[in-house]
Amino acid sequence: MEVERVQSIASLKANLDAIPSEFVRPENEQPGRTTFRGPVPEIPVVDMSDPDRTRVVRAVVDASCKWGMFQVVNHGIPAEVIKELQEVGKEFFELPQEEKEKYAMKSGSTEGYGTKLGKELEGKKGWVDFLFHNVWPPSLINHGVWPSKPSTYRKANEEYTKHLVKVMDELFESLSIGLGLEKHAMKEASGGEDLGLLLKINYYPPCPRPDLALGVPPHTDMSMLTLLVPNEVSGLQVFKDDHWFDAKYIPNAIIVHIGDQVEILSNGKYKSVLHRTTVNKEKVRMSWPVFCEPPNELVIGPLPQLINQENPPKYKAKKYKDYKYCKLNKLPQ
């Protein structure tokens, strides 16, 4: 089946002032009507180079409880490494359509190039194309689905991943300490060395009606953690205190989302964050989220150390693959 890519639709509509009706959100979701206008509270920023380690832990824990989202700066990933990751991703999406289609996601696979196939419940679509592939651990990597053009694609992604794993490990340590646990507790409960990193590249073409459309609709990530770098075009929004707020763009910061599995492990202390993305009238927006996920067969439930008479489990324990199935098919957990 021939799938229409948003990038192709966008290039046909570039000089028009209308978008196909399946991209027009219902009024209660339209960013033009629902974006908070006024003084925007700043999403917490965590300086990971702070020599006062207690302060770093406290900042991570506080943000994870109150926002489920924060930006980390001075994380040790060289700016050049991030720039290269972004450059090769952008080059991939600028290749001719038939070259990208060589990587089209096959049914049943979680990797490949694509556009969301199924419409959402209200029959709506997001203004975005994507590329998914595993980047960690080496045993999960299938280089057949990594773009072979540009030729530096592989090197740039390997380099970024190597650094990102260290940032992830440090975040897991802070989150464990924040629960009063030994520092390896969270990562161990997430699969330890079998924890997988799945990279997604979002490509949001310019959109003639950014007031009516959304890139990705409101959702929480089902991963443990999501570590994301955007390009310089803002668009990520977070839902807090009943409002949609724009996330400020901080060059070279890594945006962290607490995902559903960390909320479950922590028995609700850390909050998985509701977020969505808007699109831009003139510019291409791109982002590179990396989803840190437990192995499919691993059972995830509230950590037993946190459960007692006064603190009963608030979530069911289930295999990650069963959680994913329910979430993707909009079934109760």
Catalytic one among 75, 100, 125, 221? Answer: 221
By the rule CB under 6 A, 275 interacts with ligand OGA: yes
* Under rule CB under 6 A, residue 170 binds ligand OGA: no
Is residue 8 within 8 Å of 204, Cβ to Cβ?
Answer: no
230, 259, 294, 302: residue in contact with ligand OGA (rule CB under 6 A): 230
Contact 247, 255 (CB under 8 A): yes
Establish if 19 lies at the interface with ligand OGA (CB under 6 A).
no
Task: Compute CA 117 distance to the chain's CA centroid, rounded to the nearest angstrom.
Answer: 19
221 is catalytic: yes
Tell me the residue type at 264.
Answer: I
Output the smallest distance, CB 200 to ligand OGA, in A: 6
- Closer CB to Ni ion, 111 or 159, in the complex: 111
Asked whether the beta carbons of 218 and 276 are under 8 A apart, the reply is yes
Given ligand OGA, Ni ion, none, residue 202, with its beta carbon under 5 to 8 Å by kind, binds ligand OGA
Instruction: Judge whether 174 and 60 are in contact, CB under 8 Å.
Output: yes
Closest separation in Å from C-beta 130 to Ni ion: 11
From the CB of residue 55, how many other CB atoms can be counted at a distance below 10 Å?
A: 12
At 196, phi and psi to the nearest 5? -105, 145
For residue 275, the minimal CB distance to Ni ion (Å) is 6
Q: Does 221 bind Ni ion (CB under 5 A)?
A: yes
Contacts with ligand OGA: how many residues (CB under 6 A)? 11
Nearest to 42 by CA among 238, 216, 203, 175: 238
Q: Name the residue type at position 56.
A: V
**263 touching Ni ion, by CB under 5 A:** no
Which stretches of the chain bind ligand OGA, using CB under 6 A? Answer: 200, 202, 216, 221, 228, 230, 236, 275, 277, 287, 289
Catalytic center residues: 200, 219, 221, 275
